[in-house]
Structure 1
Amino acid sequence: MAEQDKPTGTGPSVRVDSWIWCVRLTRSRSLAAAACRAGHVRVNGERVKPAQAVRAGDEVRLLHAGRERVVVVSKVLSKRVGAPAAVEAYVDNSPPPPPREDVLALGMRDRGAGRPTKRDRREMERLRLHGSARRPPAG
């Protein structure tokens, strides 16, 4: 058994992809597993695979839907529960979401303004990618 695979804490544990799905941070377990494989999930600061064990007290960071969620596991769940019970399973330390006005202002055009020109489309794409680490495709 590798050094990093050895359990570090005591108590029950569950797979990180399963736990993220159980507490309703993602819509499906396959989306949670895909986020882990893509490197969007970190447990205690380390990128993890979907089968990584999560225990009470671990900090889980999830980048999902353009927003980072930072939660501390307070209860280990192995089955999906309702929203009120799911909220009790973690402590949410996430930064607040951006104001709705800022989100809507980026991609809005006036009604009746017609189809956007090529210049308008490039400007909208530049605004959409402004805060992300991705670069637009060359071409």
Structure 2
Amino acid sequence: MNDAPRNTGAGPTVRIDKWLWAARFFKTRSLATAAIKGGHVELDGHKAKASAAVRAGQMLKIKKPEQVFDVEIIAVSDKRGPASQAEQLWQETPESQKRREDEAAERRAARLTMPRPTARPDKKSRRRLRRFKQGEDAG
């Protein structure tokens, strides 16, 4: 028996790739489809297919570089509108919001500890840096 989520027909449905694009998680529908095929989107705890239909009340886990969103679908739409409209299509769980804020704070703290040059390297410094990175003698 298949454990994949099924639509019971309650309420309107939309393809998940269209919904992700309309909700502005991805800039294009093809990027949304690629993320789904890459296993970066889960629908109700299962890997999703681009043709899967979503409806209000379902849970999505969307993995983007450096960010993971756990969201509940509030409304469905296959039309991309302004960001204010897109925000009304989903609601992020409080745990997901806290996790993303904590990870962002860690990245900011890590960036502050990294040394930053005061100016761009001159030609001689760039050559030395290139030799060092390529493993040649820096002399």
Q: TM-score, normalised by structure 1?
A: 0.72
Is structure 2 residue 122 aligned with structure 1 residue 118?
no
CA deviation map 1:64-90 (0-9, x unaligned): 122101110000111011101111111
SS of match in other structure, 1:21: helix
The equivalent of 2:51 in structure 1 is 51
The equivalent of 1:96 in structure 2 is 100
The answer to which structure has the higher helix fraction is: 2
Is structure 2 residue 27 aligned with structure 1 residue 27?
yes
The equivalent of 1:11 in structure 2 is 11
Identity among equivalent positions (%) equals 31
CA deviation map 1:26-82 (0-9, x unaligned): 111111000000000001110011111111001111111221011100001110111
- 2-structure distance, mates of 1:8, 1:110: 59
Residue 96 and residue 3 in structure 1: after superposition, are their counterparts in 2 closer, same or farther (change >3 A)?
Answer: closer
Amino acid at match of 2:55: R
Between the two proteins, the alignment pairs up a number of residues equal to: 118
Amino acid at match of 2:50: P
The equivalent of 1:136 in structure 2 is none
SS of match in other structure, 2:18: helix
Provide structure 2 residue ranges, at least 5 long, that are not aligned to the other structure.
Answer: 135-139
Provide structure 1 residue ranges, at least 5 long, that are not aligned to the other structure.
Answer: 120-139
Computed over aligned residues only, the root mean square deviation of the Cα atoms, in angstroms, reads 2.6
Amino acid at match of 1:34: A
Q: Is the 8 A contact 2:5 2:44 kept in 1?
A: no
